[in-house]
Amino acid sequence: MSKTSVQPPTMIPVARPFIGEEEEHAVVDTLRSGWITQGPRVAQFESDFSSYIGCGHSVAVSSCTTALHLALVALNIGPGDEVICPSLSFIATANSIVYVGATPVFCDIDPVTYNLDPARVEEAITPKTKAILVAHQIGLPAEMNAILKISKRHEIVVIEDAACAIGSEYEGSLIGRPLGTLACFSFHPRKILTTGEGGMITTDDAGLAARLRKLRQHAMSLSDVARHSSKQVMTETYDEVGYNFRMTDMQAAIGSVQLQRLPDFLEKRRYLASRYDEGLHSISWIDTPFVPDNCRHNYQSYMVRLKGVVAAKRDAVMQELLEKKISTRRAIMAIHRERPYMSEHWDKVLPQTNFATDTALILPLFHQMNEEEQDYVIEALHSISV
Ligand SMILES: Cc1ncc(COP(=O)(O)O)c(C=O)c1O
């Protein structure tokens, strides 16, 4: 193993959430307020989120997985329907389709951006296709103009899996000003803005937002807040089968604070990403991330592609880095390689997905990362001995 200039005292993680004193105070205040699940702070977070994104409506839920599930239910997608989605994504993307009884149809990606290849999307459309579930993978917006054109031509809806895309921009607009019908975000601790667990659905359709609000709390005809603040006795009804996908007020209180920090988070991540670009471009076996001119990346993750003989030795590279106290992760998973979705067919029609999942590597990037830590990672990559 070759020597690098700085030795980090502790492991450099691949990601680390940033939670400050303001978040702690916000949670304590909520606990003392007497209202701890979906209530005034959830309503406030939704309003803050809509103002930030510039969308008509934001509906908070318990995770992005439940956001995607609820989005499909609200759009009446169910048994017999097909939903086109990438296999190169977190498994929740496809699971949400299975939850409603529909069939995920995996589509290959553009090997440069890691996002759905519009040409492959068009080929995958059948009379059963009801929706395209587009992921903005690790925060890089997908090629939405081409995908929206296809959806219009075939009269199918587009749902955005924006789990990783808070703060990312497509043609000058933030992701979440829905380009499709709905966009779903995640606030898991691996994401840039975290509430521990949590999700948000954004839409400009008031009717759809009302339906989502109802479905997320057991399809109750009245919200708890409406019942609580009423001067008259009110009894709710349940006219369909709903879900408990509520966010708590503690999570929402954290979310409103995190939203204020978001511009700072994004600036730091973009700064660190540009330092990685500069520090790694001379390594012949690494391709740094490509960002199309009409997109702004939030760098939720900084993912490089390993090339040539090194690509086949990714595990050895990861091990050598780990021994230098640098944590990395394999690329985005390929859903079709997991037991519930495995088939020879998918393996044959997804060559770019297979290639991407086998050759890419996620490097450490988090808000508190300092330049010394990052230089240590860059030097470690320059001196890899595999
Ligand atoms: C693309 C994508 N979709 C959905 C999810 C699920 O998000 P959550 O953990 O909030 O349910 C994730 C989480 O990593 C993701 O990366």
Q: What are the structural domains of the chain?
A: 21-259 (3.40.640.10), 262-382 (3.90.1150.10)
90 alpha carbon – ligand 1 mean position (Å):
6
- Residue 262 is classified by DSSP as H
Q: What is the DSSP string of 118-166?
A: HHHHHHH--TTEEEEEEE-GGGPPP-HHHHHHHHHHHT-EEEEE-TT-T
pLDDT of residue 142: 98
- 362: exposed, middle or buried (C-beta count within 10 Å: 0-12, 13-18, 19+)? buried
User: Does the C-beta of 92 come closer than 6 Å to ligand 1?
Assistant: yes
Catalytic annotation on 128? Answer: no
Which residues sit opposite 182 in a β-bridge? 159
- 112: exposed, middle or buried (C-beta count within 10 Å: 0-12, 13-18, 19+)? middle
pLDDT of residue 386: 81
pLDDT of residue 2: 45
Q: Which atom of ligand 1 is nearest to the CA of 191?
A: 14
pLDDT along the chain (386 residues), means of 10: 59 97 98 96 98 98 98 98 98 98 98 97 98 98 97 97 98 92 96 98 97 97 84 92 98 98 98 98 97 98 96 96 96 96 96 97 97 97 93
Q: Is the Cβ–Cβ distance between 138 and 303 less than 8 Å? A: yes
Q: Nearest 10 degrees: CA dihedral of 88, 90, 96, 98?
A: 60
pLDDT of residue 8: 67
Q: Is the Cβ–Cβ distance between 261 and 288 less than 8 Å? A: no
CA distance 63 to 307: 35
Best residue among 70, 90, 332 to mutate for probing ligand 1's pocket (most ligand atoms within 8 Å of CB) is 90
pLDDT of residue 287: 97
pLDDT of residue 227: 82
User: Does the C-beta of 63 come closer than 6 Å to ligand 1?
Assistant: yes
* Sign, Cα dihedral of 87, 88, 91, 96: negative
What count of residues does the chain have? 386
